[in-house]
Amino acid sequence: MVRHLIGIGLAIGLAAAVFFAASWGYVRLLRIPVVNGGASTLPANGGSLLHSNSVLEAVGALAWPALFAGICIAVRRISPLAAGLPGLALLGWTVVYGFNVSRAVHYIPLRGDAFGYGFEAMGINGLLAAAGSALVVPLFIPSRWRSQTRPLGIARMDDESAAPAQEPATSLLGNVSNVTSEWAETAPYPAGEPHRGNESYPD
């Protein structure tokens, strides 16, 4: 139960990262191609992207939400709700957008800022649908809903049931050692003469 509550908290954090960081970074990278446009219409003014601070900041803003989402999807100890809930929200918004564009756009908060505008741009270009489809995958994996740690009672029962299996081997070795020691303590007597009780014979 605690694991899934933590997953809900991670889901809220991932949703905020997608809306604020990813939307802002996407707006900074978004460029509409211009036919016969000059270098000013290209990213980084047609130069190297590695020397453009605005491009690097935008890539970083897109990269860390993607990394966060990948961790929530891949790590088995994390509840599937961490990735599944934001994925369902993105898919739900995409479905509403398909049936009624104006209503879906109306539900976007902060439309006047770069966050809302970037979120709308990602939805129009299909990025939200693709991200939502990937995020809901853990919801359909049964092993992600089960805890990875065994209860303490089960572990003790397994240890107790495994312990008696080693006793026959130990007792068998003990019997062999006892027989060997008794055989070594037996004194020999001359051949051809009957055994006379506890009498000892000289060597």
Is there a domain that residue 26 lies in?
Answer: yes
Rounded CA-CA distance 72/25 in Å is 21
Judged by phi (left if over 0) then psi (alpha if -120 to 50, else beta), residue 110 lies in left
pLDDT in tens, 155-190: 455 555 554 555 544 454 455 555 555 555 555 555
pLDDT in tens, 122-148: 998 899 999 999 999 999 999 888 876
Is there a domain that residue 19 lies in?
Answer: yes
Average pLDDT, the chain: 78
Distances (CA, A) of 63 to 56, 59, 60: 10, 6, 5
Is there a domain that residue 64 lies in?
Answer: yes
Of 75, 77, 64, 60, give the one whose Cα is nearest residue 14: 64
Residue 173 Cα to chain centre, angstroms: 47
Rounded CA-CA distance 133/165 in Å is 50
pTM tops 0.85: no
Q: Domain containing 8: what range? A: 2-143
Is there a domain that residue 29 lies in?
Answer: yes
Of 25, 23, 15, 13, give the one whose Cα is nearest residue 61: 25
Q: Is the pLDDT of residue 192 over 60?
A: no
When divided into structural domains, the chain yields a total of 1
Is there a domain that residue 159 lies in?
Answer: no
Q: Is the pLDDT of residue 149 over 80?
A: no
Range with the lowest mean pLDDT among 30-44, 58-72, 181-195?
181-195
Is there a domain that residue 182 lies in?
Answer: no
Is there a domain that residue 154 lies in?
Answer: no
Residue 29 is predicted with a pLDDT of 82
Rounded CA-CA distance 105/97 in Å is 7
Is there a domain that residue 194 lies in?
Answer: no
Q: Is the pLDDT of residue 70 over 80?
A: yes
